[in-house]
Chain A
Amino acid sequence: MRMRLLLGRDPTGRFLPWMVAFMVFLATLASIGAMAAQSLTERWTAGLSGSMTVQLPRPLDETERGRRLDLTLNVLKQTPGVSGAEILSEAQMRRLLEPWIGPEGLDPALPIPDLIAVTLQAGAEPDLDGLRARLAAVAPGASADDHRAWRESVGRLAERVRLVTAVILAAVLAAAVATVVFATRTGLAIHRRVVELLHVLGAEDRFVAAQFQIQAFRLASLGGVAGAAAAIGTVFGTELAVGQVDPMLMPHLSLDWQQWAGLALLPLAAALVATATAGFTVLRALGRAR
């Protein structure tokens, strides 16, 4: 509408942007946390799916060790769904264990088992029990792990993170709605005379509500953008601060463009929620007043 906003300034103009900023800040942090956890679990499960690990206890006799490894490779090659198998070298073992035992290398006295990385054909799910039985026949004590337990555990973790995020977002939404209701009721009381005047001049309730909605949209947009910017700044600041930490211990944030777009919509969502809430609050209050 070409008409200037008819409501003058009031204390809610200072209060509402701060409250919305704080809520969007929390919502953005929670969303980033959920998105990061989602990306991380997807990377973890993607890296483990389509593979299997076979572990053989290392016998004292090197000849026996070689024989068991050859027999095990043969069993694996004959197993339906297996596309490849590779015995991990000493160097690969050292890299795997480095985070726990340091860069000095393996102590020869440690009874480190042999590991075989098995690659599976796409979509293949080998008969794990049958394979274990055949492996036990050629290499006593051999074990085969298709990482299913780990992937299921990671999946449960991701589900819990999503649930916690949903609860946080619901709490933030409820607090935002309550804040806007309070601010709008306060605004109605402050601008009571202007509202009365508009009614006497023939304004419809929807027109009066629109005045408060425009105000709420402006203030919530301002607060929402500030809150989201502060949250993203906080995340990047934290990233910089922990940048030197090993990614194995503290994975770095990596969001795709769709996730960034989702975050950019949070301030808009906050503004729309504020607008709808303000309109509903005014219409309800005016309806009760007469």
Chain B
Amino acid sequence: MTAAVHGEAGPALTGVEPAGVEPPSEAGPLVAFDDVSLRYGGGPEILRNMSFRLAEGSFHFLIGPSGAGKSSLLNLLCLAMAPVSGRVALFGHDLATLRRSELPAMRRRIGMVFQDFRLIEHLSVLDNVALPLRLIRAPENQVRVHVSELLAWVGLADHLHALPATLSGGQQQRVAIARAVIAHPRLVLADEPTGNVDDTVGTRLLFLLHELNKQGTTVVVATHNEGLVARFPHPQLRIGGGTLRAVAAAAA
């Protein structure tokens, strides 16, 4: 296990806090959405009046059919987009009050696993995973040690110098997860991490995210694979038609 992945155990899993109600934690919620709406350009609203809280150290599934707005919600959470109305707060900071120059530092506290992996094709597995560390100018010797250990954790120790195109879908997904967690983010977002792999690999990927969560990282996984979700006892945010339909507690 790498130093990047190791950490103090996070708070116990908590459910979704009702909108407008602060969680009991003095530190406040890690994520707070209040009446948030989003649209692309001049198009219709993709997300409408969403309000919810995510406590630090929680693990949530974001569930809904294709086109429900899961990816758009994740885009807001990873600060790739800004809402057209409403308030988004991350790590206790209202995003509307942040200067442009402060966004990169915020983004470095978030790890994102894209549905299509988004690996840079001409870079090796090592260079892809090392990217977040190199962006913060971590010492190169530490970069290599951390990347090697993390790739061993995700079962790709023998693929350090491989190009993404030579890996299977499941292996690429694990590289994407390694890249998302290498800099020890407080929040990890995964967009359909099981969408391009079979159930066995998908289950293994969710175990990786589950293990990460046990170490204190807050995790949000968007998926429409309810069968897979049923195997993991985590609360669920159900969205449809651009609105938050229901908040389900962890399955027993």
* B107 interface contact, C-beta 8 A: yes
**A-facing residues in B194-214 (Cβ within 8 Å):** none
Distance to closest chain B CB from A119 (angstroms): 71
**B-facing residues in A198-254 (Cβ within 8 Å):** 198-204, 207
Q: Which of B82, B100, B179 has the most CB of A within 10 A?
A: B100
| Residue in chain A with minimal CB distance to B130 | A3
* A43 interface contact, C-beta 8 A: no
Q: Is the CB of A290 within 8 A of B100?
A: yes
Which residues of A have CB within 8 Å of B135? 198, 201-203, 207
Which residues of A have CB within 8 Å of B174? none
Contact with B along A1-43 (1 / 0, CB 8 A): 1111010110000000000000000000000000000000000
Residues of A in contact with B, size category:
20 to 34
User: Measured between alpha carbons, how far is A283 from B131 in the docked complex, in Å?
Assistant: 21
| Residue in chain B with minimal CB distance to A202 | B108
User: Measured between alpha carbons, how far is A34 from B134 in the docked complex, in Å?
Assistant: 48
Which residues of B have CB within 8 Å of A3? 127, 131, 134
Distance to closest chain A CB from B76 (angstroms): 12
Q: Is the CB of B120 within 8 A of A200?
A: no
* B93 interface contact, C-beta 8 A: no
User: Measured between alpha carbons, how far is A193 from B114 in the docked complex, in Å?
Assistant: 12
Q: Which of A9, A198, A200 has the most CB of B within 10 A?
A: A200
Q: Is the CB of A204 within 8 A of B104?
A: yes
Q: Is the CB of B120 within 8 A of A197?
A: yes
Distance to closest chain B CB from A3 (angstroms): 5
Determine the main DSSP class of A at the interface with B. Answer: loop
* B121 interface contact, C-beta 8 A: yes
Q: Is the CB of B107 within 8 A of A199?
A: yes
Q: Is the CB of A194 within 8 A of B80?
A: no
Which residues of A have CB within 8 Å of B216? none
Query: Which residues of A does B touch, CB under 8 Å?
Result: 1-4, 6, 8-9, 193-194, 196-204, 207, 290
Which residues of A have CB within 8 Å of B110? 200
**Residue in contact with A201 in the complex, picked from B101, B108, B122, CB distance below 8 Å:** B108
Between-chain CB contacts (< 8 Å), 26 pairs: A1-B134, A2-B134, A3-B131, A6-B120, A6-B131, A9-B122, A194-B120, A197-B114, A197-B120, A199-B104, A199-B107, A200-B80, A200-B107, A200-B110, A201-B107, A201-B108, A201-B131, A202-B105, A202-B106, A202-B107, A202-B108, A202-B136, A203-B104, A204-B104, A207-B135, A290-B82
Which residues of B have CB within 8 Å of A200? 78-80, 107, 110, 112
Distance to closest chain B CB from A209 (angstroms): 13
Which residues of A have CB within 8 Å of B79? 200
Q: Is the CB of B104 within 8 A of A4?
A: no
User: Measured between alpha carbons, how far is A200 from B81 in the docked complex, in Å?
Assistant: 10
User: Measured between alpha carbons, how far is A3 from B80 in the docked complex, in Å?
Assistant: 24
| Residue in chain B with minimal CB distance to A201 | B132
User: Measured between alpha carbons, how far is A40 from B104 in the docked complex, in Å?
Assistant: 59
Contact with A along B8-34 (1 / 0, CB 8 A): 000000000000000000000000000
User: Measured between alpha carbons, how far is A201 from B122 in the docked complex, in Å?
Assistant: 18
| Residue in chain B with minimal CB distance to A207 | B135
**Extra inter-chain contacts (13) besides given A3-B131, A3-B134, A202-B135, CB under 8 Å:** A2-B134, A8-B121, A8-B122, A9-B122, A196-B80, A197-B120, A200-B78, A201-B132, A203-B104, A203-B135, A204-B104, A207-B135, A290-B82
User: Measured between alpha carbons, how far is A200 from B80 in the docked complex, in Å?
Assistant: 6
**CB within 8 Å for A6 and B107 given contacts A197-B118, A201-B132, A202-B132:** no
| Residue in chain B with minimal CB distance to A204 | B104
| Residue in chain B with minimal CB distance to A5 | B122
Which residues of A have CB within 8 Å of B134? 1-3
* B140 interface contact, C-beta 8 A: yes
Which residues of A have CB within 8 Å of B183? 202
User: Measured between alpha carbons, how far is A199 from B132 in the docked complex, in Å?
Assistant: 11
**A-facing residues in B129-185 (Cβ within 8 Å):** 131-132, 134-136, 140, 179, 183
Which residues of B have CB within 8 Å of A199? 80, 104, 107
User: Measured between alpha carbons, how far is A4 from B136 in the docked complex, in Å?
Assistant: 15
**A-facing residues in B74-124 (Cβ within 8 Å):** 78-80, 82, 100-101, 104-108, 110, 112, 114, 118, 120-123
